[in-house]
Amino acid sequence: MHLDGPLRAATSFPQVILTAASFNPHLWYRIGQVIGTEARGVYNNGQAEGLTFWAPNINVFRDPRWGRGQETPGEDPTMTGKYAAVFVRGVQGYAISGAINSSDLEASACCKHFTAYDLENWKGVTRFAFDAKILLSLGRSPIVGFSFRKSELTNVHAMPKNCLVGQVTEQDLADTYNPPFKSCVEDGGASGIMCSYNRVNGVPTCADHNLLSKTARGDWSFNGYITSDCDAVAIIHDVQGYAKAPEDAVADVLKAGMDVNCGGYIQTHGVSAYQQGKITGEDIDRALRNLFAIRMRLGLFNGNPKYNRYGNIGADQVCKKEHQDLALQAAQDGIVLLKNDAGALPLSKSKVSSVAVIGPNGNNASLLLGNYFGPPCISVTPFQALQGYVKDATFVQGCNAAVCNVSNIGEAVHAASSADYVVLFMGLDQNQEREEVDRLELGLPGMQESLVNKVADAAKKPVILVLLCGGPVDVTFAKNNPKIGAIVWAGYPGQAGGIAIAQVLFGEHNPGGRLPVTWYPKEFTAVPMTDMRMRADPSTGYPGRTYRFYKGKTVYNFGYGLSYSKYSHRFASEGTKPPSMSGIEGLKATASAAGTVSYDVEEMGAEACDRLRFPAVVRVQNHGPMDGRHPVLLFLRWPNATDGRPASQLIGFQSVHLRADEAAHVEFEVSPCKHFSRAAEDGRKVIDQGSHFVKVGDDEFELSFMA
């Protein structure tokens, strides 16, 4: 965002991946409200020709190397869908829950990128040409502890002879790739969808009638406009060669159900497509009806927009203190404490006489903002924030940048040996991860690891390592090094990130964030980014993706995070009332080829499913010594992960603030049809007969599902 008029800045929130780590839907909703308000303030002050709101990138963060993972809410479809729904509700002016007024919009928000998109540019494979299908080699190829079936981009005509064409399966679409978009539409009431650049099983998503018309408009009752990603229509012909002529590309997308082209391709080739009979007047009218219906819902034909209910949002609503306080809260609540040996943190302001701040990410405010940002209301680096706590504070960059191909380790070691405490600010920047850039490695870039180890060896006390990055990094070396006392992940924390980090380090804020993604070891890079399978394949050693299906070792698990307080969880017998199975009496069970007996959720019907809903009440207590905000995560697990079942899956989460020694009851509504079901190979949702375990922390209870 570029501001050239009377407004020179706007509130800059953390990148989505860090905000998601709070597991706090009320925070996400409020951010959506503020972003909508400030954007309208910018528009009303003549600094934009029109308003476009994108929902967060709600593709599941499936591969840790993806450059745009920082824009997503993480790897769990349930969490990602919830983020999308409440954020869209905030932007569009709906309540955080409840009914949606489909005839009234404060603003229009668009869910992107639909679907199976999480690759930018990996080893020359670009998102523009990528066909999200699985190419299975007929032989095994062991690499660095893994063996897998080779998967690489190609087109059908240039396919290696030893490969078989696989697909993004109906199973993976049903339980991983599509659920966040379904939630964005059904629960969030989104008025826009953006189709992605890539192809899915050979078909460009913007030209896929099954995705756009049958699934989104048909199955999900989507009522809005569908836009291409920018220039995605052009690449259907110019890059992918899917369409034989430009006019065919225009016809393909309009007949599939797309309504508006981000770019000029339809403007350039639409008339000739019509003249050649490849599109009809009805194709054009259908797209126009969808677009103008949204404009009507926005009130754009209700007279002078200055006099509508949003026309009086002025410059005084941009960079408001209330909004900046929310940006600070988002950074505070998302920060994740990964290691804290022997109480290395929090630091005591009265006992820290000097501090050395070392690292390429320690004194550059722009590095806090990540991918996609506007000029922030404030600009405070971590070093500047720490200077407010310690009078004797010195900064040494140590590396030229996150790439760290030029370093001054000697100067850093000298600073470390001279100071009372050392805080290292390492990680990544937008040269390693952003739109159009994927990573090839999962470790810290260049000489960063060497710098960290030598500084830790020279320091008087165990050092503190703060990581600024969107995607995960393998910091096993630091996790296992006793001279590194604490590790903090701060994502890209936005304009208030430096302040939030300092507050966490000095105990003015009790960290409560939890990782929204699995942190994998370096060896995971043996798995091609182009392999779209979610489930592990034991026969070849393919390890699977995300905490639900991954079978390999981890550096840190999904949902992991420490606190300065100790919390306990247990199910409260009073209030937790599992249902009677009589609600599905007489339902026909079917057996899979693997022998698993299950019930089809669709056959059960809405009435039976409603009767099976039940409350699960969790007693959570903060045993101190500090007040804190704590995410309560509710999981389902099965006795085994056979027949395509996940090892476990998140079914609910809430964030609760507790004073030291305070306890509270948190209630979840559990719906077996929604939460106990899994996707069968054909994409149908089924509930397996037998035991299901509902789990919070170390406590769980069993529910036997038997008709």
Q: How many C-alpha atoms does 387 have within 13 Å on its Cβ side?
A: 9
Token pair recorded at residue 543: 């390890």
pLDDT band at 583 (very low <50, low <70, confident <90, very high): low
Pairing between strand 141-143 and 135-137? Answer: unpaired
Q: Pick the residue with more confidence: 314 or 273?
A: 273
Per the CB < 8 A criterion, the answer to whether 340 and 562 are in contact is: yes
Residue 50 has pLDDT above 80, yes or no: no
The predicted structure's pLDDT at residue 299:
87
Residue 17 has pLDDT above 90, yes or no: yes
Average pLDDT value for residue range 248-262 = 97
CB atoms within 10 A of CB 262: 15
pLDDT band at 146 (very low <50, low <70, confident <90, very high): very low
Rounded percentage of the chain residues whose pLDDT exceeds 70: 93
Token pair recorded at residue 125: 């494979």
**List of E strands, 378-431:** 392-396, 421-427
CA 334 to chain centre: 13
**Which strands, in side-by-side order, build the sheet including 225-228?**
53-57, 109-114, 192-195, 225-228
pTM for this prediction: 0.94
Report the distance separating Cα 37 and Cα 22, nearest Å.
Answer: 22
Report the distance separating Cα 468 and Cα 532, nearest Å.
Answer: 28
Pairing between strand 354-358 and 484-489? Answer: unpaired
The predicted structure's pLDDT at residue 10:
93
Per the CB < 8 A criterion, the answer to whether 62 and 176 are in contact is: yes
Residue 163 has pLDDT above 60, yes or no: no
Average pLDDT value for residue range 11-25 = 97
Backbone angles phi, psi at 563, to 5 degrees: -145, 165
Residue 56 has pLDDT above 80, yes or no: no
Across the chain, mean pLDDT equals 91
Token pair recorded at residue 134: 């699985």
Q: Over the stretch 375-399, which tens digit does the pLDDT of each residue have?
A: 999 999 999 999 999 999 999 999 9
Residues in a beta bridge with 165 = 135
Q: Pick the residue with more confidence: 698 or 4?
A: 698
Residues belonging to the active site = 229
Tell which phi-psi region holds residue 303, choosing left (phi > 0), alpha (psi between -120 and 50) or beta: left
pLDDT band at 1 (very low <50, low <70, confident <90, very high): low
Residues in a beta bridge with 397 = none
Q: Pick the residue with more confidence: 42 or 449?
A: 449
Report the distance separating Cα 11 and Cα 494, nearest Å.
Answer: 9
According to CATH, the topology of domain 52-136+163-299 is TIM Barrel (3.20.20)
**Which strands, in side-by-side order, build the sheet including 392-396?**
336-340, 484-489, 463-468, 421-427, 354-358, 392-396
Token pair recorded at residue 2: 């570029």
The predicted structure's pLDDT at residue 568:
98
Q: Over the stretch 328-344, which tens digit does the pLDDT of each residue have?
A: 999 999 999 999 999 99
Average pLDDT value for residue range 591-620 = 91
Backbone angles phi, psi at 407, to 5 degrees: -135, 160
Residue 231 has pLDDT above 60, yes or no: yes
Report the distance separating Cα 677 and Cα 361, nearest Å.
Answer: 44
CATH architecture of 327-526: 3-Layer(aba) Sandwich (3.40)
CB atoms within 10 A of CB 49: 6
Closest by Cα among 81, 87, 86 to 35: 87
Q: Over the stretch 100-115, which tens digit does the pLDDT of each residue have?
A: 987 888 888 999 999 9
Report the distance separating Cα 302 and Cα 159, nearest Å.
Answer: 56
Q: Over the stretch 443-467, which tens digit does the pLDDT of each residue have?
A: 999 999 999 999 999 999 999 999 9
Per the CB < 8 A criterion, the answer to whether 4 and 10 are in contact is: no
pLDDT band at 165 (very low <50, low <70, confident <90, very high): very low
Residue 308 has pLDDT above 70, yes or no: yes
Q: Lowest mean pLDDT: which of 8-17, 157-166, 488-497?
A: 157-166
In the structure, how many helices (H) and strands (E) does the chain have?
18, 30
CB atoms within 10 A of CB 518: 25
Q: Over the stretch 664-689, which tens digit does the pLDDT of each residue have?
A: 999 999 999 999 999 999 999 999 99
Q: Where are the domains of the chain?
A: 52-136+163-299, 327-526, 565-705
pLDDT band at 161 (very low <50, low <70, confident <90, very high): very low
Q: Lowest mean pLDDT: which of 102-116, 160-174, 352-366?
A: 160-174
CATH architecture of 565-705: Sandwich (2.60)
Per the CB < 8 A criterion, the answer to whether 120 and 67 are in contact is: yes
Per the CB < 8 A criterion, the answer to whether 672 and 609 are in contact is: yes
Q: Hunting for tokens 């939890």 — which residue is that?
A: 514
Per the CB < 8 A criterion, the answer to whether 90 and 40 are in contact is: no
The H or E element containing residue 691 is strand 690-696
Closest by Cα among 275, 235, 274 to 255: 274
The predicted structure's pLDDT at residue 458:
98
**What one-letter code names the amino acid at 498?**
G
